[in-house]
């Protein structure tokens, strides 16, 4: 069965620090990969997605992620975080044969201190 | 925001009562999904629909039923609510774009079962 693992459950950073959130998945075939963000009290918003092509994907608000197929990873990065990046971040995977169903990781709570 | 609304946004109910949550979309998307969000579990798929009257189960479907009699509405029913169904429920649609489908989420319904 497919699964997604986000190793960091709670991350605390100071403003201007660099961010990397880990995401690993288990699935043997072609995958689509997503990162969503959920600001406090709000719904999930799409940060970025990978379908094919360049494994380095740029998203909104200065976020990027790199797909490393050999490591089954899709880590999220941002060179310099802001207080407004405080939120919960979810990695999600969809197998190409999976009729659109997404499998989500457990989420990582990011707290940025001003 | 993909034109998704959910109602009610908050509900408190008692164990054993039936509850129906509504998801409404305005952009004629074929695929719709119901997820529940719980701390430490990310989002888990309850049911999904791939057209009017066409639905299928997700990974946590026990105790839930769905109906889709119109393209724009996808209803989630808790037949006899239990405290374990206290959660935040998100509806999503799937939007087709070049390369693949992307899910966009509604604002959520916070359900408390006493």
Q: Is A40 on the interface with B (CB under 8 A)?
A: no
Q: Answer whether residue A96 shows pLDDT above 90.
A: no
Give the confidence band of A38 by pLDDT, cuts at 50, 70, 90: very high
**How does pLDDT run across A4-14, given as a tens digit for each residue?**
999 889 999 99
Closest Cα in chain B to A99: B50
Q: Is B3 on the interface with A (CB under 8 A)?
A: no
Are A43 and B108 within 8 A, CB to CB?
yes
What pLDDT shows up at residue A7?
Answer: 87
CA-based torsion, B101, B1, A3, B43: positive or negative = negative
User: Which A residues in the span 71-90 are in contact with B, Cβ-Cβ below 8 Å?
Assistant: 90
Q: At A85, phi and psi to the nearest 5?
A: -85, -5
DSSP state of B1: -
**Angstrom distance (rounded) from CA B62 to CA B85:** 10
| Backbone torsion region of residue B71, taken as left when φ is above 0, otherwise alpha when ψ lies between -120 and 50, otherwise beta | alpha
Q: Is B94 on the interface with A (CB under 8 A)?
A: yes
- Comparing C-alpha atoms, which of B8, B14, B6 is closest to residue B32? B6
CA-based Rg of chain A, rounded to a whole angstrom?
A: 14
Query: What average pLDDT does range A88-113 have in this prediction?
Result: 88
**% of chain A surpassing 90 pLDDT:** 79
Which residues in chain A are contacts of B100 at CB distance < 8 A?
A: 32, 49, 51, 94
Closest Cα in chain A to B100: A51
What pLDDT shows up at residue A28?
Answer: 77
Q: Is A44 on the interface with B (CB under 8 A)?
A: yes
Taking chain B (114 residues) in runs of 10, the rounded mean pLDDT of each run is 89 97 95 94 93 93 96 97 97 83 93 97
Inter-chain contacts counted by CB atoms under 8 A, chains A and B: 56
**Angstrom distance (rounded) from CA B61 to CA B68:** 16
Please give, rounded to a whole number of angstroms, the shortest distance from the CA of B27 to a CA of chain A. 18
Query: What average pLDDT does range A55-82 have in this prediction?
Result: 96
**Angstrom distance (rounded) from CA A104 to CA B101:** 16
What pLDDT shows up at residue B20?
Answer: 98
Query: What average pLDDT does range A73-101 have in this prediction?
Result: 90
Give the confidence band of A100 by pLDDT, cuts at 50, 70, 90: low
What does the DSSP assignment read for A38-65? E-TTS--EEEEEE-SS-SEEE-GGG-EE
Strand, helix or coil for residue B71:
coil
**Angstrom distance (rounded) from CA B66 to CA A8:** 34
């Amino acid at each position: 069965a497919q699964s997604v693992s986000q190793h960091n459950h709670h991350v605390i950073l100071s403003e201007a620090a660099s961010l990397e959130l880990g995401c690993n998945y288990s699935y043997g075939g072609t995958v689509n990969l997503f990162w969503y963000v959920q600001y406090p009290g709000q719904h999930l918003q799409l940060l970025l997605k990978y379908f094919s092509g360049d494994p380095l994907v740029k998203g909104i608000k200065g976020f990027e992620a790199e797909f490393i197929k050999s490591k089954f990873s899709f880590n999220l990065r941002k060179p310099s975080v802001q207080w407004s990046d405080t939120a919960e971040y979810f990695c999600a995977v969809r197998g190409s044969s999976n009729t659109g169903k997404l499998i989500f990781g457990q989420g990582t709570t990011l707290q940025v201190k001003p | 925001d993909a034109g998704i609304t959910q109602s009610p946004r908050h509900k408190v109910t008692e164990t054993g009562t039936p509850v129906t949550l509504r998801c409404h979309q305005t952009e004629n998307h074929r695929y719709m999904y119901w997820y529940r969000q719980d701390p430490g579990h990310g989002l888990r798929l309850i049911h999904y629909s791939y057209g009017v009257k066409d639905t299928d189960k997700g990974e946590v479907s026990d105790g839930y039923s769905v109906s889709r009699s119109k393209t724009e509405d996808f209803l989630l029913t808790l037949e006899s609510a239990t405290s374990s169904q206290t959660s935040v429920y998100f509806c999503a649609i799937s939007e087709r774009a070049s390369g693949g489908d992307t899910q966009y989420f509604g604002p959520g319904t916070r359900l408390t079962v006493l």
